Amino acid sequence: MQDKLRQHIEKIVPLTDDEFAFVLSHFTSKKAKKRDWLIQEGKRVKHVFFVVSGLLKLVYRDELGKEFIVSFAMEDWWECDYLAYYTKTSATLSLQCLEDTEVYCLALEDYHKLCAGLQKIEHFFLEKSHRGHIGSQQRIISFLTLNAKERYEHLLKRYPALFQRVSKTLLASYLGVSRETLSRLHSPK
């Protein structure tokens, strides 16, 4: 299980055994069951999570209680309500397990200590953050330029594995269409 994290980091920065031990000492690990919450709207966000196994949804809930999926987090993903985490405010998003899930948890002060103690890891996080930013930008472009069907096909091509693991209802919510419309996209008229 540690190997997952190490391999993940080493895709970007190589680490000695000692360095990885140092990194690992800043994390705690946690197992959660389907339907458990790792972040709850309104509460403080203590950790950023690295997903070792399982699947989660990051959701925003509007005033009417309607739920929107901001992102899915699968193996090897980092997930958090970053705004709440970095600014130490209460969560506006929630993070819930869609399957039994295993994560590493990193508290904000441990994150700072880790970066201060090992420059490489700050570089790693910078790299990760860039990629996350680029990914979000592309999702924005897909909202600007594509219709429901195109967004659906785009997602299907990019993450075929998702379709085995999450309900159409959730996919629809991620794509920003109603589940009825998504359902009709398969067999177009």
Closer Cβ to a copy of itself, 3 or 87, answer by number: 87
Closer Cβ to a copy of itself, 33 or 61, answer by number: 61
* Contact with DNA (CB under 7 A) among 7, 28, 119, 183: 183
Record the tokens describing residue 129, joined without a space: 């953050």
Record the tokens describing residue 24, joined without a space: 């690992």
Closer Cβ to DNA, 128 or 139, answer by number: 139
* Contact with DNA (CB under 7 A) among 130, 147, 162, 165: 147
Written as one letter, the residue type at 161 is A
At its nearest, how many Å lie between a copy of itself and the CB of residue 4? Answer: 23
Distance CA 7, CA 76 (A): 10
Please tell me whether residue 153 binds DNA under the rule CB under 7 A.
no
Contacts of 22 (CB under 8 A, 6+ apart): 114, 117, 118
CA 124 to chain CA centroid, Å, is 17
Phi/psi zone of residue 155: left (φ > 0), alpha (ψ -120 to 50 degrees), beta? alpha
Distance CA 181, CA 97 (A): 26
Footprint of a copy of itself on this chain (CB under 8 A)? 60, 62, 66, 68-70, 82-83, 86, 115, 119, 122-123, 125-126, 129-130, 132-134, 136-141, 143-145, 173, 176
Stretch that binds DNA, among 88-96, 99-107, 134-142, 176-184 (CB under 7 A): 176-184
Decide which of a copy of itself, DNA, none touches 125; Cβ closer than 5 to 8 Å per partner kind.
Answer: a copy of itself
